[in-house]
Amino acid sequence: MGLMEKLRAELVDIVEWVDDSHHALVWRFPRFHNQIKHGAQLIVRPGQSALFVHRGKIADVFEPGQYRLDTKNLPVLSTLAGWKYGFDSPFKAEVYFVNTTQITDLKWGTPNPVIMRDADFGPLRVRAFGNYTLRATDPKALIEHLVGTDSEFNADEISELLRSIVSHSFADIIANSEIPVMDLAAHYMDLSESLRQAVVQRVDDEYGLDLPKLFIVNISLPAEVEEALDTRSSMSMIGDMNRFQQYEMGQAMSVAAANPAGGLAGAGVGLGMGMAMAGQMAPGAPAPAGSPTPPPVPQGSMWHVAAQGQSSGPFSMAQIQEGIASGQMSAVTLVWSAGMGAWEQAGNVPALAALFQAVPPPVPSS
């Protein structure tokens, strides 16, 4: 170091903080033995405050600006040190810079589900998460209650405490809101502001902190509850369940008839769907308004059909006729009805043999 630089270092001292960490709340200016030269320049940038601490007591506080440190602008420190007529030698003091700008992109969430009572669904467990911004409003309270003797204090060091306070406040608000769970999304803004005010009341006076912004991003239900709500919504959209079932069975019959591997299996499926359709349209179904109600149709013999080692049915005689007419049953199809000792081919059963005689034989090839 040259002579001029050495002399300049002895005569000029600049106390300042250039922060680029984005999450730092408090930073202590490093000094050898905490000595600051008389006449040093103090630079406090916008969004900062500077505090002088002498022998464990907070002395003077400086807002943004540039200052020449002497007894005129250090009245409290001068009184504590006993300087009545000024000082010319270096003095000892700790200088803390406090970041008073908003620290953004801080997140919160409920570590455990919160119980709320809903008028429609009863007790429910909900979770919530969101984000908030943090700003120091009282540097003295922040230094006294949180920082202490730390040389650097970041927002991350208090984020766990703030998340706990937000979670507890959210539990109180959501339990007393009496908002139906289906309408919570429409009240996110109101709930967010109520939650922010509740948290600020707990951290403002004690820690000198403020939360200018706090948002609830999402309130979620357990997965099984969400599935039940989706099912309930789907059923509401379907409307008439009987007509929907008839439509579904009609579609299944069309698929079964178009199945290339139909054969006897297709016959069983088709006849089964036809039987279900017949049940949906049975005489027990309500008749159109104004039309006379016919008496019940006498039930004939019911038949079971065997296809690919599996039994299907029972089917009425009308359904058997439909199966024969559509080619889904043949004379060698095994059938059984009450009173028969064993399965027999349909063509050998007297009650069904006449049905096959009415079916024309295959067209001979040319």
Domain CATH number, residue 334: 3.30.1490
List of residues 6+ apart from 90 with CB closer than 8 A: 35, 36, 37, 38
Write the single-letter amino acid at 3: L
**Nearest-angstrom CA–CA distance, 227 and 234:** 11
Tell me whether residue 140 is in a domain: yes
pLDDT in tens, the chain (366 residues): 455 554 444 444 788 998 777 788 999 888 766 678 878 889 999 999 999 988 888 888 999 999 988 878 788 887 877 776 666 667 778 899 999 999 988 999 988 888 888 887 788 888 899 999 999 999 888 888 888 777 788 888 888 889 999 999 999 998 888 888 888 889 999 999 999 999 998 888 788 899 999 999 999 887 877 777 767 666 666 656 666 666 666 666 666 666 655 444 554 555 555 555 545 544 455 545 555 655 554 556 787 888 777 787 788 888 878 888 777 788 888 888 877 878 888 888 887 777 777 656 566 665
Say if residue 208 is in the same domain as residue 267.
no
Q: How confident is the model at residue 195, as a pLDDT?
A: 93
Domain tally for the chain? 3
Residue 286: inside a domain, yes or no? no
Q: What's the pLDDT at 86?
A: 67
The residue out of 163, 190, 225 marking a domain boundary is: 225
pLDDT score, position 5: 53
pLDDT at 159: 86
Domain carrying residue 77: 12-99
Extended beta strands in the chain, E state: 14-15, 24-28, 35-36, 41-44, 48-54, 57-62, 65-68, 91-92, 94-99, 103-109, 114-118, 122-136, 152-154, 209-210, 214-220, 303-307, 310-315, 334-337, 344-345
Same domain, 268 and 202: no
Residues 200 and 269 in one domain: no
In this structure, are 85 and 53 located in the same domain?
yes
Q: Does 236 map to a domain? A: no
What predicted TM-score, i.e. pTM, was given to this entire model?
Answer: 0.56
Residue 3 lies in a domain: no
* H helices, E strands: number in the chain: 10, 19
Integer distance in angstroms from the first to the last C-alpha of the chain?
Answer: 117
pLDDT, position 7 = 44
Neighbours of 33 (CB within 10 A): 6
